Structure 1
C-alpha cells in the first residue's frame, strides 16, 4: 500500500520504519532538514523536506492516490490541517495524531467530522487505556482498546440471591449499554443466546459502558460491593487526565501529585472528586506524608523518564502494591523489559509504541483478527473489518448468523454497543463473540 506520513519525530520515524519493513511504499514529509536527512539515511523510505500543511507539497508527495495518510507531528494543529488537506486532495483514509483532549470533546463540535479526518489518535489516551486496564480489572481482554477505552469488559458470578437467577436471557432487562456475551458453567462456556437460563454460580462476561456495567454487576452480585482502590498518579499530564476519566467510578480514590501549582489548580477545577497534592514525588518526605506506601496503585506519568523510574522505585520501596510508569525514550523500553522484575515495575507503557500498534491495526490488510480465545474452547472474540463485498454489508445486526454476538460496532466517528436495528456498513469494524463451531462460517459471511 502507498502511505504518506507527515512528521518524522520519535513516533513518525518508528512508524515509517515499521511500515517499510512490512513492505509498504512509504513517503515521509518532514520540516526539519536535519531530521529529514537522518531518516533518509537510516530508513528505506522516500523523504520530502517541507511544510506538511502545504497543499502543493502534499500533492507532490502523492496524497491524491495514497491508501493511508498519517499526520504524526507533535503539533495538533499541523496534524489536523494536513489531515484535512490530504482528505480534500483524495487520500483514501486519513489518521491524525492529537494530544490535546479538547479535540476529543464532541459536545459542541465533532472535530474529527469537521476536519474530515477518519481517525484521531491520542498517544497519551492510548497509554492511559493500557494502564487503566490493569487497574480496573487485571487480566481483562483488550477489547476496550478497540473502543478507545469506552467499552468495559468484566466477569461477574451470579449470586443465589440475584433476581436474575433462574431467568432466561431473553426475559432480562439489563438496560441500555450492557450486553451478556458469554456464560461459563461447570467448566463449560457458551456464547449467550436468548433461550439460555441463568443459574446460581454461573460466570458471565459483560460488555458495556463502564458506568452501566458497574451498575448491572451489583444486580448479579447484590452483596459483592467492590472494595475501594487507592490510586496515586505522579504528574498532571495528558496520560493522568486520561486515567482519571477512565477511573471515574467512585470505588477509585485518586490522588495526583503535581509540582506546578497552576496545573494543580486547573486539574482541581476540572476534577473536583480528585485530590490534588502540590509537590514532587521525588521527595521521600512528601511520599511518606501522603502515605504512598498504602496505595494500591502508583503510576508515574510525567514526561521525564528518569523521574518516572526513580519515583516508581521509591513507591515500591515504601510499600505500594502495584507500580506502573510511562516511558517515552525508545532506548529505555528495552532496558525496562530486562529489568522489570528487578525494579518491581509491573507495567511500563510507551506512548509511541501504543500509537504505532493502533495505526497498524487500522492499516492491516487482514479483514479479521483474533482478540482472545474464550475459556473451555467455547470460541473466540474476533474483530472484523466489513468490506464492500461482505455479505453482511448494508444488513442489520439482527441479520447476524446464529452463534455470533456483536458486542462493539465501530463506525468512522464512534464506537458503540449495537442494537438489533443498527445497519452494518462497508468500512465498519465489528467485535464479535463467535462460537467455535461457527468461526469459519461467520468469517466467510463477514469478510
Structure 2
C-alpha cells in the first residue's frame, strides 16, 4: 500500500488552513506540504502541536477550530479543511471561514443526519462547498474495486443525487448503429461517454453505439435503471459479497451494494449494532458473528462467496479476518488497511486489494485543489484524458447569457447535471444558468481551458 503521492498538478500553489491535527488532518497536511502549498494547521492538543511542528513543514498553531480567532489569524485562505473529530465543530468552523472570505471550505462529518436533505440542508445553509465523509468515500472506493462485469464504473455526483454507471452493449441490443440523437432517451439521462476497445471519449449526438462498447449513463438512479432496459444489456448472476464488520464504512458499503442487486451478507459481532442496522439493511443478511473467527466464516459459507471485505475499525482485525477467509477458499479478498507499514505484508497474505481511508480522503482533497470557477476536478474516474469537473457559475459568466442550446461549448464536453438551491437536475437544451449554480461537466482534458471561459466572470 503506497504512501500518498502528489497527483499530476493542474492547480496553482495555494494557501490552505487545516483545522484538526489528528490522523486525517496530519496526513492531508503532510501531502499538501509535500506539494509545496502554504499550509497552516490548527490543533488544540499541546503535545500534538509540538509533535506536528517537528514533523511538518507547516505553520502549526495551537488553538480551537470553533473559535473565530484561530481562523482569522490564517486569513487570507484559498481552502479551509475542517477535519477535527467533532462534526458540529467542523460545520461551524467551515461556515465561519466562508463568512470570513475563504474561497472554498470543506467539513468532515461522520453522522448521517448532516447528509439528509429531506428535513434540513446543512451544506447549503452553512455555505459549505463540500461535506467529507471518510466512511462513505472509503465504501465507494471499495465498490470500485469489486469486479462487476456489467457495470465496472459506478460513482455518485451532485451530492449523491445523481449516479454514473457503465453498461456493456451486446450484439442483440436494439440501439446499436444508431446516432445518439435518434435514440430519444429521456431528458433526465445522459450518455456521457463511450469506451470502445479501451479508448474512452465524450459522447456526441453524432456518435453510434456498436456491440462491445461500454457506455456511461448519467442521471438519477431510478431514471438510469429505466433507461438500462432499453439497451437489453447482458445480465449477470449477482455476486455474493460478505462484509466483515458493520461500522460506518461497512454499513455504507452494504447499503450501496444491496441497492445495486448484490447478495450481501454482513458479519458483525456486536449484537446492539446488528439490531441498529437491521431496518436499513433489509435487502442484506445481517449475522451476529465475528469475522475474525474461522468457525463463524465456515458456518456462513464465506469460502463460497465471490468477495470478502474486512472493514472493521482496526487494521489488525481486518488482516486477521482476511487470512481466515483465504484459508477456507475465498478467492477475492479485500480490506481496509490504513497503516502504510503494513503494505509489505498485504500481498504475501493473499489479500487481493487494500484500501486506505487516508488515501481516499487525500483524493477528495486533491480534487479541490483548484482556483477560479473550479470547485473540484477529477481525472481518475475515466482516466485517458477525460476530466469530471464541478464548476461554480460566477457572476457575469457568458453561460448565463442565453439558453444552454445557444451557448458555445467545446464539442468534447457534456454538462451532466446542475445543482441549484441544493437540488440536482439534468439540464435540458432550454435550461438557462444563473450565477451561483453548480455544474457537473465531463470534458476532454485538452478542452478544459476553453470550457472554463463560459463559467468565469466576463
TM-score for the superposition, normalised by structure 1: 0.85
Aligned length: 435
Q: Which of the residues 256, 262, 277 maps onto 1:267?
A: 277
Q: 2:165 maps to what in 1?
A: 153
What displacement does 1:71 show?
0.8
Q: 1:347 maps to what in 2?
A: 353
Q: Which moved more, 1:213-222 or 1:291-300?
A: 213-222
The verdict on how the C-alpha distance between 1:370 and 1:88 changes in structure 2, with shifts beyond 3 A counting, is closer
Q: Which of the residues 394, 405, 408 maps onto 2:414?
A: 405
What displacement does 1:394 show?
2.6
Residue 298 of structure 1: SS of its match in structure 2? strand
Contact 2:150 2:236 in 1 (8 A): no
Distance (whole Å) between structure 1 residues aligned to residue 196 and residue 366 of structure 2: 37
Q: Does 1:135 align with 2:146?
A: yes
The verdict on how the C-alpha distance between 1:158 and 1:416 changes in structure 2, with shifts beyond 3 A counting, is farther
Q: Residues 154-213 of structure 1, C-alpha deviation per residue, up to 9 Å, x if partnerless?
A: 0321433x3434544223233354322344668987643334455555553333444443
The verdict on how the C-alpha distance between 1:147 and 1:339 changes in structure 2, with shifts beyond 3 A counting, is farther
Q: 1:317 maps to what in 2?
A: 327
Q: Which moved more, 1:151-160 or 1:387-396?
A: 387-396
What displacement does 1:273 show?
1.4
5+ long unaligned stretches in structure 2: 1-13
Distance (whole Å) between structure 2 residues aligned to residue 17 and residue 189 of structure 1: 34
What displacement does 1:309 show?
0.5
Q: Which of the residues 422, 425, 431 maps onto 2:441?
A: 431
Q: Residues 10-48 of structure 1, C-alpha deviation per residue, up to 9 Å, x if partnerless?
A: 111112222223222222211111101111122122222
The verdict on how the C-alpha distance between 1:306 and 1:444 changes in structure 2, with shifts beyond 3 A counting, is same
Q: Does 1:306 align with 2:316?
A: yes
Q: Which of the residues 278, 289, 313 maps onto 2:299?
A: 289
Distance (whole Å) between structure 2 residues aligned to residue 193 and residue 187 of structure 1: 18
Q: Residues 68-126 of structure 1, C-alpha deviation per residue, up to 9 Å, x if partnerless?
A: 22111111121112222222333232211111122111111011122222211001111
Distance (whole Å) between structure 1 residues aligned to residue 150 and residue 434 of structure 2: 30
Q: Which of the residues 29, 32, 37 maps onto 2:42?
A: 29
Q: 2:7 maps to what in 1?
A: none
What displacement does 1:238 show?
1.0
Distance (whole Å) between structure 2 residues aligned to residue 274 and residue 121 of structure 1: 26
Q: 1:39 maps to what in 2?
A: 52
Q: 2:10 maps to what in 1?
A: none
Q: 1:108 maps to what in 2?
A: 119
TM-score for the superposition, normalised by structure 2: 0.83
Structure with the bigger percentage of helix: 1
Contact 2:194 2:214 in 1 (8 A): yes
